[in-house]
Amino acid sequence: MWRHRPIARLFLAAGVIGLLSSMFAVPCQQAGRIPLIHLTDLYDPPQDPDDHIDLATIVALPEFDLQGVVLDVTDRFLVPAPIGYDIARAPGLESVARLGRIVGRTIPVAVGPRHPLRNPNDTAADRPPSEQVGIAFLLELLERSPQPVMISVVGSARALAAAYNRNPQLVRAKTRAVLLNAGSTAGVKREWNVGLDVHAYVALWRSNLPLRWYPCATDRGAFDPAHVHGTFWRATHARLFAGLSEPMREWFREAMLATPRLAGGADGGARAGEVTWEQELAQERNLWATISLTMAAGRVLARTHDGWRFVTASEVIGQETWPVRLDSIRAEVDPAGVVTWHTVPRADTTTMLFARQPGGGYGVAMAEALNALLCSIGRPTEGERATQVSGTPKS
């Protein structure tokens, strides 16, 4: 069942006419699956294609019931240089809609506010209608949910922080956990996602929501592949996309080839160059959020007879695994977004910090396992294949 709500007026005001049916429809939840709302800075063309990979990871995990996507946009990526970052981008509505067609369902999606919060208590209620949509959509999904929802954050926390500031009781009651992919475990250098909206990041840490913190940087920076608290890993596109179904290969291809390579950096004076798919496959992709999603789904990174895979707990008996865990911590955040923390007994807190067995082989295992997961999208299930062979129509 899909129900249309009064927030449709906000979507019309935002000028997103063509995708209204997917944007303000609120889906029924599927029994036995984890309801999840995904907040992502996904653009068309991508500002960083890791966001497309993260969204694909979610739809590949059958444990999740994706309730909706809030596109976390920031003004400087929506306008061209020299005012903006490099080229003008659009919120990733088209990419979300195309992925929905591949997996055979509508993925509700809305666009969040494009300007940072003015302070950690900002509700963003005084923004124009175009900046209200994502916040209203998030609150609507939470209000309608019969059970607490998992919220994954892979950009800024702007829409979630504003929603919390408007209705903290609702957000607390309906949030199962926040998968926070942002910040640094140490040091004063501001991590990318925090820099998108530092006030939103501070607001989230002060909210008392149950946080599962997957930091994108450590005391060694954002690109350390071996740190005990590091979520970072890297692989080539050729490794990640090998053997994809034709629809998924085209989905990634359309997204990535729409992004021109800029010679000389993003200084506004660079010229865009044409890139072939073969050249794109040779590019390396930095990734951080994968482990937050697979852990939230209850998957374990294990070496099977087919290689490294994200398997269910029942499948892991007798297999080598890459140890990962969530440590209970107590943390404080300063106005600049610097978090200080220490471990505590689990009963004393709802805030947890990711940890793993350190070592550089982590990235190799993650790449192999994620590729296998992505290869499952866009292909018929065993039941569908049996139906196709027998010719019996599906009920």
Confidence of residue 32 (pLDDT cuts 50, 70, 90): confident
pLDDT over 90 for what percent of the chain?
Answer: 77
Instruction: Answer yes or no: is pLDDT of 22 > 90.
Output: no
Helix (H) or strand (E) holding 342: strand 339-343
Lowest mean pLDDT among 12-26, 94-108, 128-142, 185-199: 12-26
Give 346-358 pLDDT, tens digit per residue: 877 899 999 999 8
The pLDDT of 216-226, averaged and rounded, is 92
Whether the pTM exceeds 0.85: the reply is yes
Instruction: Answer yes or no: is pLDDT of 395 > 80.
Output: no
The residue among 381 and 307 whose pLDDT is bigger is 307
pLDDT reported for residue 309: 98
Instruction: Answer yes or no: is pLDDT of 124 > 80.
Output: yes
Lowest mean pLDDT among 30-34, 37-41, 336-340: 30-34
Classify residue 374 by burial, with Cβ atoms within 10 Å: 0-12, 13-18, 19+. buried
Alpha carbons within 13 A on the beta-carbon side of 381: 7
The number of beta carbons lying within 10 Å of the beta carbon of residue 6 is: 9
pLDDT reported for residue 260: 60
Confidence of residue 263 (pLDDT cuts 50, 70, 90): very low
Q: Provide CB contacts within 8 A for 250, sequence distance 6+.
A: none
The CATH number given to 13-258+276-376 is 3.90.245.10
Lowest mean pLDDT among 159-163, 232-236, 252-256: 252-256
Average of per-residue pLDDT values in the chain: 88
Q: How far apart are CA 33 and CA 59, in angstroms?
A: 12
Confidence of residue 257 (pLDDT cuts 50, 70, 90): confident
Instruction: Answer yes or no: is pLDDT of 142 > 90.
Output: yes
Domain boundaries along the sequence of the chain: 13-258+276-376
Instruction: Answer yes or no: is pLDDT of 119 > 60.
Output: yes
Give 45-97 pLDDT, tens digit per residue: 999 999 999 999 999 999 999 999 999 999 999 999 999 999 999 999 999 99
Confidence of residue 188 (pLDDT cuts 50, 70, 90): confident
In the chain, count of helices (H) and strands (E)? 15, 20
Q: Provide CB contacts within 8 A for 351, sequence distance 6+.
A: 210, 211, 213, 328, 329, 330, 331
The pLDDT of 6-16, averaged and rounded, is 36
Give 99-117 pLDDT, tens digit per residue: 999 999 999 999 999 999 9
pLDDT reported for residue 45: 94
How large is the angle between the packed helices 133-144 and 158-166, nearest 10 degrees?
60
Q: How far apart are CA 28 and CA 192, in angstroms?
A: 35
